Amino acid sequence: MSDDPTQTAAVSELAHRALRGDEAAFLELYDRLARRLHGTALRLLGNREEAEDVIQETFITFLDKAATDPPANPGGWLHRVAVNQCLDRLRRRQRYPEDAIEAAPEGAAPPSRGLRLDLERAVAALPDGAREVLLLHDVEGLKHREIAEQLGISIGGSKSQLFRARALVRTTLEPTPPEAGGAA
């Protein structure tokens, strides 16, 4: 999550202490990472309450799962868990679009809400690897080197997945041309 090795080392130390039951270390870890993770979740989901839920679930998952298999890069691990939880929520919205429409803020302009739902559906329909790279690069602003490191892929693979994801989203969002002949 950070290019600064001292910051990464500090987060790793806090995470390991938190997993050993050090409550103060857990609170400091939460204070250091929650704001950025919340920003990520909010940008992906567009809903403050849902983003807050994702952060809570992310840290609960950290305590449950990382305790048995501590991650080498806890900050990156937490970021990936948060992004995956957001993607799961977006998939659920795609499966149950009426829930997403009802959850839209009152007074939202119908065209932008429709476009937003179309974009959410297009992104949610992407293959997992392409979707993760697209969100990490275009939404989170991570560089291909950081994405490759976080996802365990090559830099070229990251670039390829981003190109593929953008092309698929463009294709999905393109208006369908009117049928020739006009038969209705």
pLDDT digits (tens, 9 = 90+) for 90-130: 877 776 655 444 444 444 444 455 566 677 778 878 887 88
Q: How many CB atoms lie within 10 A of CB 41?
A: 25
Q: How many CB atoms lie within 10 A of CB 84?
A: 15
- Model pTM? 0.58
Closest-CA residue to 70 (of 158, 11, 139): 11
H or E segment and range at residue 69: none
- Cβ atoms of 14 and 23 within 8 Å: the answer is no
User: Which pLDDT belongs to residue 114?
Assistant: 57
User: pLDDT category, 176, cuts 50, 70, 90?
Assistant: low
H or E segment and range at residue 146: helix 144-151
For residue 176, the number of C-alpha atoms closer than 13 Å in the C-beta half-sphere is 3
Q: Which amino acid is at 20?
A: R
Q: Where are the domains of the chain?
A: 1-109, 126-174
Q: What is the pLDDT of residues 154-167, one digit of tens each?
A: 888 888 888 888 88
pLDDT at 43 over 70: yes
pLDDT at 79 over 50: yes
- Cα separation, 121 vs 160, in Å, equals 21
- Cβ atoms of 15 and 70 within 8 Å: the answer is yes
Domain 1-109 has CATH 3.40.50.720: no
Look up residue 81 and give its two tokens. Answer: 């868990």
H or E segment and range at residue 176: none
Q: Which amino acid is at 49?
A: E
Q: Which amino acid is at 45?
A: L
DSSP-derived secondary structure letter, 110:
H
Architecture, CATH, for domain 126-174: Orthogonal Bundle (1.10)
User: Which pLDDT belongs to residue 44?
Assistant: 82
